[in-house]
Structure 1
């Protein structure tokens, strides 16, 4: 007689029911494949520039060159994502990124890469990402049933985390045994494969019949974005996070690994452990619905400063990896809860525009942080720049915890309404009664049935 799975096993299986939906399986496979290549390329490009020029400033400029056009075109990508079929936009973006990464790999293989070429190809890749991201964020609710949306976001984070573990580890090995160019060529192939998965996706392609002017759509999206205090406050917080904390970490992390540890292999290990933490965070969160998601995210994202603190102190590699592990856990918890909160409280027909404002805000001055991190570190020290980021993260999270408009946000049962719903009504539904400490909390979305 067959034995029944134990309750913990049955619970885990119920939480994976989101993979029973064919559309989501295809979407998940394509996204995870693409992220595997991207996580490999992040390691490879850093060491390709360092090998080619040996300059931290050049590395800063190349990384900034990718982010600048992404910021510039994000709002346009959001408008197109709400006007045109999102799947089509994502397909065009994937093919563009496959072409740019392939061209970059060829230039590096032939030894003819010049700085201006690296900057140009990085910028074109950023354009592709600017149009891809708002459509991706807006398409997620259409590839999965509404009750399973929280688990879909967690699974996408889990796939990203798995890629973050496997990608850097494989990249570090290939950079050592072959070359950074080989890794970039693999990345180009993953973008092409992701596009093939997207071509199999079956989602509604029709758009709204009315198409107001671009400025009207931007104003409507801005009204929805600013209508939720928690949305613009947290976005502003992470504008500064990307500038002060994460941009210096991305630029100076590889340099610190090269100076203090064993170079590419150490940095690959650190990034892989960060990904392992993301897997642990996603597995822990899968099927759970905290009532106050942004309170949880604000508490855990203090840990994002941990790897920078360890690198700044030139701690042993095992301590740096422990910091990266805890930061990875925080990453999964934040991304899943943040995206689910937005998707539940923002109308789906305006989701791409609103997410473009979120991304624009979060990345707006990130390129400046990337461009400044190298030169400032050359005039001071790597440790000094990273330590400033650590202090900022601790202070900013402490401030955010004091704001009722963030602490009071709750997950809901209902999907977001239309874009014409009054902002005040949306704010009330999102946060509940901020002035009444005894207000009844809503049940986590999807309880008791797993989403």
Structure 2
């Protein structure tokens, strides 16, 4: 049989799943396997060391505070330096900080300030990693299959989160939190090694001139010039803060007092992960024309876990709530990534992502730090109901904005192809478009 007669080999992967995309997906799977278990481990490490709700909140706030301080700088650095170098350096910092945290926990009772310092180092790494990673992912796919690529990426990432939460919760219950933190440190090392092989040759070389402030100003112009963008970021500034407090501070406490401890709480988080996987599978098929209308409507169920913890409901009901929430929030996640990929120029992706992340976590440290005092002042149940109500209120407010409801799906990145000053979806493109 000649080569011409030989049957064509089936491609091992879709055409849109290039080398960078595959490396990014594999490394995200590795880090999510470790990090989701480590989140549970960190909370229970504080509780086992004699801490209370306030201490859990302080450690969680110590991780998120550097995000607020360094995210914008991280975005500017990621658009100026090779993004994969920034990602690898951030992974190295996370590896060292989690490894040291693990050693402290395994060696004996860690002090509160030590746990806060090490989680703060981890948050610093995340501040530089997040914008570089998002910019790298958004630039790794193109064309009409971008939404499907993002859905597959998120499905892989959330599947790993599911496994990491379930296994991590079980490991905390059986072996203790120290070993879970050690596994997370190894995961960061492996992921950093994978990300070292990313190719950034397709990204245009930045022209000389300007500086950090000029980069930040350009990113701000791109961000502030798009109403749909900053409205959604404000919405999630509130939603992420209250849900972060509910799940990171109150969730482990409700689990300890009513659900049986770390194992059941890890299972609930794993079921949430299963919901996100199901949502990603859904978004591989469903392509809503109005991206943000569909996505924002699916944010309302984010209030359900806080309400379920406030009751508190039985474990089976909590798992059902977590699954539904996971499905709907993934619809938003894929729609949001598709909107950013469609609207934002490639050379500004990391800076816009930094403003996105910055707004989304700006008040999270405050919410974490106030979670304990709020419980002492109002009680845990009223505090959880307040979290649920705030999610509903800010989501309804976002839907009142026409730019959010009317952003439509296109096949090309208008931000790059449309002449400057052309109205898009009822808005004028910013000066950076």
Q: How high is the TM-score relative to the length of structure 1? A: 0.88
2:279 is the alignment partner of 1:277: no
> Per-residue deviation at 1:416?
4.8
Q: Any idea what the Cα deviations from partners look like across 1:131-180, whole Å, max 9, x if unmatched?
A: 00000111113323433322221122112210221111101111121110
CA distance 1:294–1:252, shift in 2 (3 Å) = same
- TM superposition shift of 1:62: 0.4
2:310 corresponds to 1:312: yes
Correspondence list, 1:4-19, <5 A? 17=14
Could you tell me how far apart the structure 1 residues matched to 2:186 and 2:414 are? Answer: 37
CA distance in 1, matches of 2:248, 2:414: 36
1:190 to 187, 192, 205: 187
Q: Rate the CA distance shift 1:316–1:222 in 2: closer, same or farther, 3 A.
A: same
SS of 2:260 mapped into structure 1: coil
> 2:167 maps to what in 1?
170
User: Which of these residues, 131, 136, 156, is aligned with residue 134 of structure 1?
Assistant: 131
Shift of 1:432: 4.7
Deviates more, 1:382-391 or 1:242-251: 242-251
1:252 corresponds to: 250
1:62-211 → structure 2 map (5 Å cutoff)? 62-204=59-201, 207-211=205-209
Q: 1:221: Cα distance to partner?
A: 0.9
Question: Is 1:221 matched up with 2:219?
Answer: yes
1:47–1:77 distance in 2 versus 1, CA, 3 Å: same
2:393 is matched with 395
Secondary structure at the counterpart of residue 146 of structure 1: coil
Cα distance in 2 between the residues matched to 1:89 and 1:359: 17
Deviation at 1:331, TM superposition (A): 2.0
Within the candidate set 231, 238, 241, 2:239 is matched to 241
| Corresponding position of 1:57 | 54
Q: Which residue number in structure 2 is paired with residue 10 of structure 1?
A: none
| SS in structure 2 of the partner of residue 306 of structure 1 | helix
Residues 338-347 or 145-154, more deviating: 145-154
Change in CA separation of 1:380 and 1:178 when aligned onto 2, cut-off 3 Å: same
Aligned 8 A contact 2:277 2:327 in 1: yes
CA deviation map 1:109-144 (0-9, x unaligned): 111521111111111101100000000111113323
Give the one of 370, 373, 376 matched to 2:374. Answer: 376
Distance 2:38 2:217 in 1: 37
Aligned-residue offset at 1:202: 2.3
Aligned to 1:327: 325
Partners of 2:280 and 2:327 within 8 A in 1:
yes
Counterpart CA distance in 2 for 1:115 and 1:70 is 20
Note closer, same or farther for the CA distance 1:210–1:418 as it changes in structure 2 (3 Å cut). farther
- Take 2:156 and 2:399, find their aligned partners in 1: how far apart are those partners? 30
Query: Aligned pair in 2 of structure 1 residues 23, 244: CA closer, same or farther (>3 Å)?
Result: closer
Query: Cα distance 1:416–1:100, how it changes in 2: closer, same or farther (>3 A)?
Result: farther
Deviation, structure 1 residue 394 = 1.7
TM-score, normalised to structure 2, is 0.92
Shift of 1:405: 1.2
Q: Do residues 25 (structure 1) and 22 (structure 2) align?
A: yes
Assess if the C-alpha contact under 8 Å between 1:32 and 1:156 holds in 2: no
CA contact (8 A) 1:44 1:180 kept: yes
- Quote the Cα distance in structure 2 between the aligned partners of 1:165 and 1:186: 16
Q: Is the 8 A contact 1:82 1:207 kept in 2?
A: no
The 1:192–1:265 alpha-carbon spacing in structure 2 relative to 1, beyond 3 Å, is same
